[in-house]
Amino acid sequence: MLSVNKKPMAKQIAASKQTGAKTIFKSFEILRDAGGEMSRKELLSKMTAEIDFNDSEQEKLVSNGQPRWLTIFLFYTVDCLKAGYLIKNKGTWLLTPEGEEAMTLGSYGLIDTANKAYRDWNRQQKKLKENSVEMDLNDDEGYESEKKAAVELEVIEERALDDIINFINGKNPYEFQDLVAKLLEAMGYFIDFVAPKGKDGGIDVIAYQDELGIKKPRIKVQVKHYPKNPIGPEPVRSLKGLLNSSDEIGLFVTSGSFTAEAKRTARDSAIHIRLMNGAELIDLWQKNYYNMNDEDKSLLPLQQVYFLKLNE
């Protein structure tokens, strides 16, 4: 009998890689279309709405209570961080120009190049740690376990951050205004004015560099407790109109975020206007927490927990 040459079967792509490829690529698309920046919570919400997940992907894992797709997605974001495609900053995710360029490789090409970047970084770290090239640099088991540990830590941190955000979002506008004033006070500024309930003329807080307000510039603060709706350019322009000279600077604080146009408006202003979103407010509160008295801390009480520091 004549032998028949059979075509080699195409290599089966693992289900986890399929999930990783489609979730990473979709997240990059969403970030790109949003101007390159979005809160983690909003990004995951959009992904959930726009991706058709199968039953296996939606199944919640016993180990962490998360849908399988989310655990896989976070696992692959570790590669993207090391590749410089993605930046995570206190609940805000940013797509880098390198990440947007990597999208031209397609979903699998993107995660493959990111994975290679992580492996190269991981091997380099091992070389530096052991000060020798004779070690086993192809330790896939160690590589996988390090990524899993990074994801587990991120899940814990994000849950803690979600609790903080939900606590802030539950405040009324005047409580949030008081929180902003106490933060500035903890940072070393002297608070001259906090707007009472009712009309405030557009300025919610006035802060000075010194007790007498002699040192310039003084800070005029606009506070908006809009956790869900991004602040557009018009409120930023309104704050600009309330700044009388170069002896004053504007600070716009929101519990949510700012649109790209709002940021551009602040950058283009001849009088300095600083924007502070909810993520940055939380970061500064954490950094200045121990400068506060117990009463001020109660506005947003925190508990510090230490973890073993993973390789970076």
Q: What is the pLDDT of residue 59?
A: 96
N residues, the chain: 312
What is the distance between the alpha carbons of residues 159 and 6, in angstroms, rounded to a whole number?
Answer: 52
Backbone angles phi, psi at 192, to 5 degrees: -95, -30
Best CA proximity match to 142, nearest among 259, 311, 297? 311
Q: Are 224 and 188 in contact (CB under 8 A)?
A: no
Q: Which residues, given as ranges, of the chain have pLDDT below 70?
A: 1-11, 128-143, 199-200, 308-312
Q: Write b or e for each residue in 271-282: b if 16 or more Cβ atoms lie within 10 A of its Cβ, otherwise e.
A: bbbebbbbbbbb
Best CA proximity match to 299, nearest among 207, 179, 202? 179
Q: For residue 170, how many C-alpha atoms fall within 13 Å in the half-sphere facing its CB? A: 8
The helix (H) or strand (E) run that includes residue 254 is strand 248-254
Domains belonging to the chain, first-starting first, are 15-168 (no CATH), 173-297 (3.40.1350.10)
Q: What is the pLDDT of residue 91?
A: 78
What is the distance between the alpha carbons of residues 139 and 34, in angstroms, rounded to a whole number?
Answer: 38
What's the predicted TM-score (pTM) here?
0.73
User: CB under 8 Å to 150, separation ≥6 — which residues?
Assistant: 78, 310
What is the distance between the alpha carbons of residues 138 and 126, in angstroms, rounded to a whole number?
Answer: 11
> Between vectors from CA 112 to CA 6 and to CA 8, what angle results, nearest 5°?
0
| Residue pLDDT, tens place only, 46-80 | 999 999 999 999 999 887 788 999 999 999 999 99
Q: For residue 86, how many C-alpha atoms fall within 13 Å in the half-sphere facing its CB? A: 29
Q: What is the DSSP letter of 131?
A: T
Burial of residue 191 (number of CB atoms within 10 Å: 0-12, 13-18, 19+): middle
Q: What is the DSSP string of 136-198?
A: -S--HHHHHHHHHHHHHHHHHHHHHHHHHHHHHHTS-HHHHHHHHHHHHHHTT-EEEEEPPSS
Peptide bond before residue 8 is cis, with ω within 30 degrees of 0: no
Is beta strand 37-39 parallel, antiparallel or unpaired with respect to 205-208?
Answer: unpaired
Q: What is the pLDDT of residue 132?
A: 47
Q: Are 229 and 259 in contact (CB under 8 A)?
A: no
The helix (H) or strand (E) run that includes residue 94 is strand 92-95
What is the distance between the alpha carbons of residues 203 and 214, in angstroms, rounded to a whole number?
Answer: 20
Q: For residue 28, how many C-alpha atoms fall within 13 Å in the half-sphere facing its CB? A: 27
Q: Are 92 and 37 in contact (CB under 8 A)?
A: yes
Q: What is the pLDDT of residue 9?
A: 47
